[in-house]
Amino acid sequence: MLHLVQPEAQLLTVDSLRVCFARNVPEGTAVRGVSFSLAPGRCLAIVGESGSGKSVTARALVGLAGHRARVHARGLNFAGMDLTGFDDRAWRRIRGKDIGFVLQDALVSLDPLRPVGKEIGEGLRLHRAIASREELESQVIGLLKLVGVQDAEIKALQLPHQLSGGQRQRALIAAALALDPRLLIADEPTTALDVTVQAQVLGLLEETKARGKALILISHDLAVVSRMADEVLVMRQGEVVERGSADQIFREPQHAYTRQLLDAVPSGRRRGSRLSSSPAPRLPQPHGRLLEPSATRSSQIVIEATDLVKRFKGPGGILRTVVDKVSFQLRSGETLGLVGKSGSGKSTTARMALALDLPDEGAVLFQGEAWTTLTERERRARRRSISVIYQDPLSSFDPCWTVRRILADSLLDDVETRQERHKRVAELLDLVGLSPAFLNRRPLELSGGQRQRVAIARAIAPRPKVIVCDEPVSALDVSIQAQILDLLGDLKAQLRVSYLFISHDLGVVRYLSDRVMVMRDGRVVESGNTEAIFAEPQHDYTRDLLAAVPTLLGRQPQSRRDRDAVAAV
């Protein structure tokens, strides 16, 4: 009998890893007996919602689970070393050198005050892997080139905020790869990147794996995981609920929780199907004032934008055209999806629809009347007819206000008595699926999903005709994202509100939108019916965007042609 995997072949073995943060309370244990092993050239993915213990597990592998954390393991072996007995000095010797770690969100994971090159060279300097300053510089530039950063000599001297999101993430990966570690751990390396950049970063990780490095990938994005992983661990509440090859997990999930996670992924899902198990909100019909169906017929145009042009002054005082001759119509009860890479002018277009930025040319009509050409004073009375939901609701709330005050503040002035005001606030909260217990909470005391629910409640409070959603689910876990998307879908059906929906996640856009507008470099390259665009993209750029979307194994891919190909197999 031939053992395919010999113990010696394993680079990392973890046996019954436990991490506790607080003594004597069950919730204080973040990781409860996780075991796995990993061979060189293989990729292990750990998936689960936030709070499932996946990040803590990874951090425990470099001895950085947190200064209050107490880590126990029956065995923790890496490259023949027993990590359980490591002190700080021993840990420091392997961190960066033998185990590289890439954190999510490079904007905050690179020191904003130091040039990118310094950060990348830091590991080399710390582990005394270089002889001279010149050698350090040339190594740093070599690393930046390795991860595919153009103009590496210039970028090395720039600060993180001067780089694009994709360049920052590459720089962070370059820093982790500096000493050519045998194990690379990537914690949500592509969250918050747009699809094409995400595809490039994943390609980079795949190359690393192909060079014989072991890879641990932590992600809540199952599509990403299904592309990269050889083996998958599904974690919930600190425990591994399912493990297996990527193929097994995605094609024949055994555990109910795994199936729930998979169901929550919107890409390739038909509109109208529910992503989460949460029930549709019951509408408080008797108090119909809140939900008075708008008198508008479905065919009525609520927003009409014609030839919008917006220029901003770039570095060196050169005018840059950010939005170039963009026209669109949004009808009542309709969802218009706006997709494109970051910097394509999506958000600026939305800001012009909100009249937060005014177009340099062209104009926006709102319900057939002048909108962007009004003075702010004239506009103010009607501002509440267009609401907005942002990616990060936390920064759009006053942190000192309670949920009750946030919502009451957004109600129209026609609510006069205090009792009516309270009743309406409670209705709103109920509508977004939160119990009245949340009324007295403040934004910081809410989870990401709860905050976004409050943001939605605030957006619908003044009975708007249009809600602009700017990446409303990008910062959320897949299962929370599913609940929020379901909620947005339900509210649209019941309130007959129109959405202008911006997202870099094409799966999300496809799930929610009636029509889609694809933007590149400030121009609309393609627009039309969602299914038509996704099935038969006419423009190369749209095809590139679609091709870059990782799809779940065992799920229909994005375009019809590919779908047919799968069916033929």
Partner 1 sequence: MVANSRLFWLARRLASGVIVVWAAATFTFLVQCLLPGDRAQIIINVMTGNVGQASRQELAAVNAKYGFDQPLGVQYAKYIWAIGHGDLGQSYQQHRPVAEVVAEQIGPTIVLALAALIAAWLITILTTVLAAGRDNIWSRLLGGVQVLLATLPPYWLATILLVVFAIKLRLFPVAGGNSPIALVLPTLALALELSGFFGQVVVSEFTRVLEQPFVTSARMRGMSDLGVRFRHVLRHAALPGITLSGWALGKLLSGAVLVEAVFARQGLGGVLVTATSTRDIPVVSGVILVSAGLFVLTSTVVDLTYGIVDPRIKLT
Question: In the set 92, 442, 523, 543, which binds partner 1 (CB under 8 A)?
Answer: 92
Stretch that binds partner 1, among 29-37, 62-70, 292-300, 510-518 (CB under 8 A): 62-70
Q: Residue 101 Cβ, how far from partner 1 at the closest point, in Å?
A: 4
Question: In the set 10, 45, 46, 105, which binds partner 1 (CB under 8 A)?
Answer: 105
| 280 three-state secondary structure | coil
Indicate whether 94 belongs to the interface with partner 1 (CB under 8 A). Answer: yes
Q: With respect to partner 1, which residue has the nearer C-beta, 171 or 488?
A: 171
Are 451 and 472 in contact by the 8 Å Cβ rule? The answer is: no
Q: With respect to partner 1, which residue has the nearer C-beta, 3 or 89?
A: 89
Binding to partner 1, residues 351-390 (CB under 8 A): none
The 3-state secondary structure of 132-163 reads: CHHHHHHHHHHHHHHCCCCCHHHHCCCCHHHC
Indicate whether 122 belongs to the interface with partner 1 (CB under 8 A). Answer: yes
- Which DSSP string do the residues of 320-373 spell out, in sequence order? EEEEEEEEEEEETT-EEEEE--TTSSHHHHHHHHTTSS--SEEEEEETTEE-TT
Question: In the set 113, 318, 381, 437, which binds partner 1 (CB under 8 A)?
Answer: 113
Question: In the set 69, 79, 126, 280, which binds partner 1 (CB under 8 A)?
Answer: 126
Question: In the set 96, 266, 448, 449, which binds partner 1 (CB under 8 A)?
Answer: 96
For residue 227, what are the contacts with CB-CB under 8 A and spacing of at least 6? 202, 550
Q: With respect to partner 1, which residue has the nearer C-beta, 153 or 564?
A: 153
Q: For residue 240, give both structure tokens.
A: 């591994």
Q: For residue 342, give both structure tokens.
A: 């970051």
Indicate whether 544 belongs to the interface with partner 1 (CB under 8 A). Answer: no
Question: In the set 20, 31, 76, 110, which binds partner 1 (CB under 8 A)?
Answer: 110
Q: For residue 18, give both structure tokens.
A: 């436990």
- DSSP H helices, 152-252, are 152-155, 165-177, 195-210, 222-228, 246-251
Q: Residue 64 Cβ, how far from partner 1 at the closest point, in Å?
A: 6
Binding to partner 1, residues 145-204 (CB under 8 A): 159, 161, 172, 175-176, 178
| 275 three-state secondary structure | coil
Stretch that binds partner 1, among 64-72, 341-349, 399-407, 552-560 (CB under 8 A): 64-72
Question: In the set 42, 54, 95, 346, which binds partner 1 (CB under 8 A)?
Answer: 95
Q: With respect to partner 1, which residue has the nearer C-beta, 178 or 353?
A: 178
Q: With respect to partner 1, which residue has the nearer C-beta, 63 or 266?
A: 63
Indicate whether 394 belongs to the interface with partner 1 (CB under 8 A). Answer: no
For residue 18, what are the contacts with CB-CB under 8 A and spacing of at least 6? 29, 31, 32, 33, 34, 71, 72, 73
For residues 274 to 313, the per-residue mask of contacts with partner 1, x marking binding by CB under 8 A and - elsewhere, is: ----------------------------------------
Q: With respect to partner 1, which residue has the nearer C-beta, 97 or 351?
A: 97
Cα 37 to the center of its chain, rounded Å:
29
Alpha-carbon gap, residue 265 to 184, rounded angstroms = 26
Whose CA is closest to 52, among 256, 236, 242?
A: 236
- DSSP H helices, 211-336, are 222-228, 246-251, 256-263
Question: In the set 103, 141, 291, 478, which binds partner 1 (CB under 8 A)?
Answer: 103
Instruction: Spell out a b/e string for 496-528, using b for 16 or more CB atoms within 10 Å of the CB, else e.
Output: bbbbbbbbbbbbbbbbbbbbbbbbbebebbbbe
Binding to partner 1, residues 65-84 (CB under 8 A): 67-68
Stretch that binds partner 1, among 118-126, 287-295, 327-335, 416-424 (CB under 8 A): 118-126
Q: Residue 357 Cβ, how far from partner 1 at the closest point, in Å?
A: 22
User: How many CB atoms neighbour CB 356 within 10 A?
Assistant: 13
Footprint of partner 1 (CB under 8 A): 62, 64, 67-68, 88, 92-97, 100-101, 103-105, 108-114, 119, 122-123, 126-127, 159, 161, 172, 175-176, 178
